Chains A and B, each alone.
Chain A
């Protein structure tokens, strides 16, 4: 890489482009069935070096399966995969990667909590001395790739603060770093029209000239003809054509896809246009859009074009009451309204079909009927009771109008195709009998047939007098359906034409600002930062701000500790005595080990509620052993404790990782089980101080510089853990697992194994603590170490470990624990009853989480802000 810095078009890729493009990868006569149904039959596809193949077909045609077969996610039932002419068996996505295949997804499966550099190198990290991960080198190399791809962000930025389009570029960077010779893109432009698509295509061109073989799957026929050298059409699992794109045209491709010519792609409304149904004036929402004014008449279809991020969806959300604007007026049928929730909007007759079908339009577990009646529950319930008869009455007619293909009304919508799902969504909104219908990318990711049907429905709605606002990135769709088209750019409406005057070029130019002579960023004033330019300032600023935020956690904890320590010390100087501080640190030792154990589990998006019980169980057994076998070397007892902890941890880990029992349930169970076993073995027995050897008690009572040995043991373990988490692949993978378990699986991380290991290590640590506990507290019965769970989890949470996985630092954990100990100790010195400790802990936990949430929301807001 270093010798190619002068010409940054990528080292490590094939340089010579042969005359006859070599076949880099192929599916030969591939067939694949799922649960007995053939999904792909006898398909042969060739992806050639320096050549772009477009794979098109309706939903369910088998495109996605072909991609997965090449990517190693599935194995063919018949036929085989070829890489560079050699028959290859791909057993996993990792296999495919090793063979030079890389996939860029429509919804990037990156690790939000990890940095860009880590994401780019995940699974294949660069190592430095002693096998340590070399983060600096990874960040440097990533920076170079990002520059090549036009992504102006620091390589240390956490991916979750990036927009979807930026994340896709990170996926491409990852493919390039992996020296992929075969790049497959699955609907890569679905989330990025216009300007950002051009950037992507420029990258594709560059890769083409380097001899990379490319295949992309898409529904967008314009892009197919713009980019592809060859086109392969799938229909119902079979390959119906594979030709040079010069030999085909749109009509031919569509015919091949659906099997019959589609005569009228866009229906036209017969009815006229009525009064103004929806009018907005000077609508503004800082950071999202500003000064938006528009009107929609009943019977009219108004289109809203613009790039992703131009603010269209934000405007729609404001109109629907989900994100009320901070300024401006909204009028429905001439009367002013202020909407503060979607329920409000529904009451006023506004419906919004979201662009996020699976996440915002459907409850995937619900059946068709339940989904379709959700907003209209008031209409199908009498005295609050839902009546199925009424539900059916409301929906049946709509469902048949949509020509929905389904089995029965309670069929879970997750089993429907994308097009049919969207029909359910439309039926749902039509059931509310809206006056105004806002559609956000309604035909995205839907096959041609279903698209046509949805267009028909929209037009028929308009003929019935509904005012329709159509947000879309497909220019032909806008031009074909809309009476008027408005264009948004960077939060403002910049142009508007009626149907006779609008053209694709005009719209695209307005959306990208190419028509604007003075194409500088639009200033918005106020607190919103200037919009992003191609230069690095914004990325740098965000990176710095984030480092700020992250750094602040540890700083904040130190501040909090001081905030308590200082007043207490002023009230009672003995608080700061060497003796007291030593006592705090010694207490910290054991607790640190436990909180670390909890952190390891929390990072992987799990939790371990059984830690206290493990400690108690091991403590008793260790004490018992020392009492009954006085000759046994103490180190053996300690090791035995660790071993026992390991067994307990593995039980937890296996139950969670392989038994698929959620961690909270599993460890709730083992909490009782371990405590119960403890009780069973111990009965009413109590091992007291005089029954065990002095050496045993002395084990933990040594001091070094006045501080107990336990402090040093704890600190040492923390240091080792911090190093392991930062510099070993296993450590980083824990974060990956917690941040995105499915994504981790896809890139070859052994997720289940890592989770098992996390629980196992936590168990060993708990076992160690148990043995040391028995030595420290001398008198042990079956009640030892009860009630530790709260302190441990509280310390972790206060220390900044994300309760949902993917994030946490050892320093934070150490400080969090110290804070809680200082509070407890401080309260005692301030003569506050120890009874208050628990209550104070509770307040501290809530405060810590509240601060976390506030900070996280600020980061997200910056990432999502348009202006």
Chain B
């Protein structure tokens, strides 16, 4: 197996080991942790962030970023609430809201891909813009009268299991996108765009087009996340999903996706998601809430990158030795041909 693959797998394994260890320790020491109800709640609690994380991973690999993920989700939630209030049936409302997500993503995509503006700042701007639109649409009110099947979806499990329905969209999306990323030509192109945007451009990759569609995908998926959040919470408010972008970005970086693009695995991100969900759940069970939880996650994030850097510099030194030996060997005996 190649050196790169080996090193990447190291990070995923570390994450998995961390998650498993935490699970076992918590199961042993925290009462009520290992119950199916608790685990179900833990999974439900990250349903929306989980969805947001998937397209965000693709974007960060492609050397972009989308900070407006939570604002798009909020906008979706608010739009749906307003529509339901006005009597629009769910069958129309949900597709319409998804289209709003597509439009939001298209705005991001147009600004970044066609106008070539830096995505960090653009999505910072649209983060404000979309969230601002939430406040404009709904103000301080909330819409809590929602159709029963909708809210039922938000709190029920897959029949016969403890798996909450709200996490199912994520499970489906992550598998599809993960396979796309690692096994298809499109995925290879995304890595190329992140690894070297110019080379990708000169190699026939339609960089602008792909970047645009990645943002559109993000918009659509985040709108879906917003819909799910509304269902789960049972209400639509202008500050729904406020601040979720921090969690999402944290999970992606914790999952081993390089800040500079071009590297990382969906599996790693999945592991990071599980880890964070477990951490939040354990902390919650120990009466540690809100901002204090955020502290632990912040420490996890920094600690993980520091560790990763350390591991990388060690393996790079080892590889350097191996390569130098290889070069010396090649010099003394050139390949025949």
A residues bordering B, Cβ < 8 Å? 34-37, 60, 236, 320, 322, 341-343, 345-346, 352, 354, 356, 359-367, 370, 374-375, 377-378, 380-381, 384-386, 400, 403-405, 407-408, 410-412, 415, 417, 428, 655, 659-662, 664-666, 668-673, 675-680, 782, 790, 793-794, 797, 803-804, 833, 835-846, 849-850, 853, 857
Contacts and interface: CB of A to CB of B under 8 A. Distances in A.
B302 A666 contact: yes
B172 interface: no
B263 to A, nearest CB: 6
Given A341-B206, A361-B202, A671-B246, 10 more contacts: A35-B324, A342-B201, A365-B196, A385-B183, A403-B335, A661-B305, A662-B305, A666-B305, A833-B139, A842-B131
B29 interface: no
Given A374-B203, A670-B298, A849 B122 contact: yes
13 contacts: A359-B199, A361-B202, A364-B195, A374-B192, A374-B200, A377-B188, A381-B185, A672-B294, A673-B295, A677-B295, A680-B291, A839-B129, A846-B121
Contacts of A669: 250, 298-299, 301-302
Q: Nearest 6 pairs between A and B by C-beta?
A: A676-B295, A839-B132, A842-B129, A410-B2, A672-B298, A842-B128
Interface in B294-337: 294-299, 301-302, 305-306, 309, 317, 320-321, 323-328, 330-331, 334-335, 337
B124 interface: yes
Contacts of A679: 290-292, 295
Interface string B192-221: 100110111111111000000000000000
A842 B125 contact: yes
A386 B183 contact: yes
Interface string B177-196: 00010011110110110011
A662 B199 CA distance: 24
A411 B126 contact: no
Contacts of B136: 833, 835-836, 839
B135 interface: yes
B90 interface: no
Nearest to B332: A236
Contacts of A36: 321, 324-325
Contacts of A661: 302, 305-306, 309
Given A384-B184, A662-B259, A361 B199 contact: yes
Given A363-B200, A838-B132, A676 B124 contact: no
B196 A363 contact: yes
A352 B202 contact: yes
Contacts of A236: 331
Contacts of A678: 291
B192 A407 contact: no
A729 to B, nearest CB: 30
A794 B128 contact: yes
Contacts of A412: 3-4
A838 B191 CA distance: 35
Given A359-B199, A670-B302, A366 B129 contact: no
Interface residues of B, number: 82
Contact of B302 (A356, A665, A797, A853): A665
Contact of A34 (B117, B129, B320): B320
B244 interface: no
B4 A342 contact: no
Chain A CB count within 10 A is highest, among B120, B185, B321, for: B185
A853 B116 contact: yes
A260 to B, nearest CB: 12
Contact of A370 (B188, B205, B293, B299): B188
A803 B123 CA distance: 13
Contact of A794 (B124, B195, B302): B124
Interface in B231-249: 246, 249
Contacts of A403: 335, 337
A363 B337 contact: no
B54 to A, nearest CB: 18
A385 B176 CA distance: 13
B184 A365 contact: no
A846 B122 contact: yes
B124 A374 contact: no
Nearest to A845: B125
Contacts of A680: 291-292, 295
A782 B199 CA distance: 48
Contact of A381 (B131, B184, B195, B305): B184
B253 interface: yes
A60 B331 contact: yes
A315 to B, nearest CB: 15
B130 interface: yes
B95 interface: no
Contact of A835 (B135, B189, B259): B135
A208 B133 CA distance: 69
A787 B328 CA distance: 57
B86 interface: no
Contact of A322 (B133, B183, B202, B323): B202
Chain A CB count within 10 A is highest, among B115, B195, B290, B335, for: B195
Contacts of B183: 385-386
Contacts of A35: 317, 320-321, 324
B120 A790 contact: no
A365 B116 CA distance: 24
Nearest to A401: B337
B183 to A, nearest CB: 5
Nearest to A853: B117
Given A35-B317, A850-B111, A659 B4 contact: no
Contacts of B191: 363, 366
A659 B306 CA distance: 6
